[in-house]
Structure 1
Amino acid sequence: MENLDVSDLIRIIATCISLLLAFFIFSVKSTNKISNKIFAAYLVLSAFEYTSWSLFLNITSNIIIFKSQLSYLIMPIFYLYILSVCYSDFTLKRKQLWHLTPYIIGNLVMTPRFYLSNPSEKLTLFENYNSQFEIIYLHFSLHIQFAIYIILGFIVLKRAKKIFVENYSSATIQTYNWLLQLLVFIGALFGVAFVKNLFKYFGDNDYFQISEIVLSIVTLYFVCWYGLKIMKHPNLFNGVDSKTKLTTELNKEDQKNNIDLKEVEQLTAYMKTEKPYLNPSLSIRNLAEEIEMNSRDLSVLINQHLNQHFFDFVNEYRITEAMEILKNPSKKEVTVLEILYEVGFNSKSSFNTAFKKHTGLTPTEYRKTA
């Protein structure tokens, strides 16, 4: 502990914060219990990853190797977290144990010369630790695993967001924007870690030390940023049903189904007279039940024949309703915040974004020109 440098100190801070956040997230009351527990596990594993070598110098080398092998579990846990947040019907299953494969292989690679060798042989190995085949394999395989899981995360997020905009109208689409930021952030961490290891094996030691400090600072910022986001909005993340099909995945016969013009008129008339869009949690299933129409047919009608996502379709009616209120002289005292809740939005940022998308103006600008 005498030789702790700046990077070590930052990592110790990141470790402590990660463990505290893990405890909070695990114990907080939330509708997303599985997601919270998985993310807490991710934070605990990350905390072990953040701890530096200097904290383990006086501990048997087998524990150091065991600690390094835990890195194989970080990205699988993170991927399961993405799935659990995106899909409301997510459950942990035995078939997901295949994610342990890299961890098992990594330990098998380490077994002959590290786990099973005698103390003197281990000491020799640790004197040239980074040049050992097993350690080179560890770094190489972890980088490949990291890249694969980041790509898988983007694929899951892209599909879940498509399902959301085709079937839901609530403002929790922010969830996917936040997860996108999270994936980009994790990807940036991967990039910095990759550059750091390039310096370790092929570059100048000074640059390696600098990259270590940069990685530690970025890691600390990431832990604080996302941890605080979850603490502030523990119930924000509401996923979609993973079994829901995208309209592009429906049978060609379903897509080419001739939609009766009466159904279009029925939908339009219902939206104008009954105003179901005022319900902030309106889903395509709710609307289909209200107009006594099959939800799949309604999805095809809106997405394929009206050429709109359900999310945009509903928001268009909400914005039109808001425009009527904003230009009504008798309601000039009604605030924008009151209006957005009245027309079915539950987030100021999503209301402003949707309003500007449909009108090219902010609500305040529109009120002044109306």
Structure 2
Amino acid sequence: MITSNSILFTIICVFAFQAIILSVLILKKQPKILANKFLALLIFFYAIMAINIVLVNVLKDFNLMHIFRYVQLEMLYGMGPALYFYTLSITKPSFKFTKKNSIHFFPLLIEFIFYRTALYRNGADGLYVDPIPNITYVYLTQQWIGIISILVYSIISIRLLFKYELQLKQYFSKIEDKAYHWLKIPIIIFGFYPILWNILTEVDRFLFDRNLREYYFLPNFVILAITCTWIGFKGYLNKVNPELLIPEISNIEKEDSSPSKDLEFLDKLNQVMILEKPYLNSDINLNKLAELLEMKPKTVSLKINQNCGKNFYDLINSYRVKEFQKLVKTSNLEKLSLLGLAFEAGFNSKSTFNSAFKKNTELTPSQYLKKVKNAS
């Protein structure tokens, strides 16, 4: 056990209960969609994990530790599935949760039952006995399996997000409001927090005889509670578009399956880009470009991937970079606003502009500007 700290206990409870309130607000948020249910569940699971640690220490101070073994709130086996189904719901708005999917939460039911058995109570109590009894290893095994399941679900969720981003790039030139970049941070935090936490506690137990617990134990749960609240706010403010369906063209591969380039398509594409300059429209998408080319969207996407070696997103941004370079050379460099010119070239995000410019020129915009000034 650790020394109780009323200040840290208060901070943990304030943020954890705030996270629970946010989970309820997310659950009631309109329109009611499946993704919000899983996000609310995810935040709730992690919030009660933080509250759990306060509860166990308060009961310990009042010599009521035996009561805690009956009210254990930790739900490791629900965190991974909740995260996975939330990610799946926002990346595939057509997804429907079925009875078959509920099997992912079956281990959570087993965990809940396990915490109400003497096997758990005796095993958990054995953590504070030296040497540790064999029954305690049953409890530790159950903990580590739960932690590994969270890690596995987190890796799958990250893969879903990256795949979804690639799909968006086949169809949209602006993905900042659709790609859920903010979700990558909580997935990493939620996925790796439990495993790093247990590694830390095991190192402390075997190498330092738990003498370091006072320095990392409660501060870690403070960070967890604050993180839960932050994710709750982000999730509540974030808009999930249930009507955003990525067309079938999203599964097209980039590899060049034909031995030669379609020069006719490349010439037609170049002519449209030069004459119409559709890339100046920050909301240009594949459908609009297909209309200008008088072709089907799926065909255009296929030909872009095969003949340009890029997806739609990268192709449009490459033309925007070229337009920016033209504007730099024809503008007053003394009164130059790089971001202003970037927006004029069709970009609508500073981060996207910087990333695309570096990808196409291997220079940052500032480095390119300096190069142009030195050459003039």
TM-score class, shorter-chain normalisation, is: 0.7 to 0.9
- Which runs of 5 or more residues in structure 2 are unaligned? 129-134
CA distance in 2, matches of 1:289, 1:98: 45
Alignment of 1:55-204 (within 5 A): 55=55, 57=59, 64-65=71-72, 67-68=73-74, 70-107=75-112, 109-110=114-115, 113=118, 127-128=125-126, 132=136, 135-172=139-176, 175=179, 177-199=181-203, 202=206, 204=209
Deviation at 1:76, TM superposition (A): 0.9
1:118 is matched with which residue? none
* TM-fit CA distance, 1:153: 1.8
SS, match of residue 81 in structure 1: helix
Whether 1:234 and 2:238 are equivalent positions in the alignment is yes
Corresponding residue pairs, total: 355
Greater Cα offset, 303-312 or 291-300 = 291-300
Conservation of the 8 A alpha-carbon contact between 1:278 and 1:342: yes
- The equivalent residue for 2:47 is 47
Alignment of 1:207-286 (within 5 A): 207-230=212-235, 234-235=238-239, 241=246, 244-248=249-253, 255-256=257-258, 260-286=262-288
Q: Distance in 2 between matches of 1:242 and 1:159?
A: 14
Distance 1:214 1:111, change over 3 A: closer
Q: Distance in 1 between matches of 2:233 and 2:365?
A: 29
Question: Structure 1 156/212 Cα, relative in aligned 2: closer, same or farther at 3 Å?
Answer: same
Q: Which moved more, 1:90-99 or 1:272-281?
A: 90-99
* Residues 98-133 of structure 1 deviation map (CA, whole Å, 9 limit, x = unaligned): 211221333454566469xxxxxx7x7775477546
- Per the alignment, residue 291 of structure 1 pairs with 293
- Quote the sequence identity (%): 22
Question: Hey, what's the Cα distance between the residues in 2 that align with 1:155 and 1:189?
Answer: 18
Structure 1 vs Structure 2 CA RMSD: 3.9
Counterpart amino acid of residue 45 in structure 2: L
Kept in 1: contact 2:167–2:251 (CA 8 A): yes
- Cα separation, 1, equivalents of 2:194 and 2:317: 37
Return the alpha-carbon distance in structure 2 between the equivalents of residues 24 and 108 of structure 1: 29
Amino acid at match of 2:94: D
Deviation at 1:163, TM superposition (A): 1.8
Query: Any conservation in 1 of the 2:280–2:320 contact (CA below 8 Å)?
Result: yes
CA contact (8 A) 1:277 1:318 kept: yes
What is the alpha-carbon distance in structure 1 between the residues aligned to residue 54 and residue 231 of structure 2? 27
Q: Give the Cα separation in 1 of the matches to 2:286 and 2:126.
A: 61
**2:228 partner amino acid:** V
Counterpart of 2:365 (choices 354, 362, 370) is 362
Q: What pairs with 1:288-367 in structure 2 (closer than 5 Å)?
A: 288-329=290-331, 335-359=337-361, 360-362=363-365, 366=369
Give the superposition deviation at 1:41.
Answer: 2.3
1:119 matched to which residue of 2?
A: none
Matched, 1:205 2:210: yes
Provide, for residues 11-30 of structure 1, a one-character-per-residue CA deviation record: whole Å limited to 9, x for no partner: 32331231243345445667
Asked if structure 2 preserves the Cα contact closer than 8 Å seen for 1:160 and 1:242, the reply is no
How many angstroms apart in 2 are the aligned matches of 1:229 and 1:149?
A: 21
Give SS of 2:71's match.
Answer: helix
TM-score by length of 1: 0.78
Secondary structure class of the residue paired with 2:211: helix
> Could you tell me whether the CA contact under 8 Å between 1:195 and 1:211 is conserved in 2?
no
- Maintained 8 Å contact 1:7/1:212: no
- Aligned AA (1:89): S
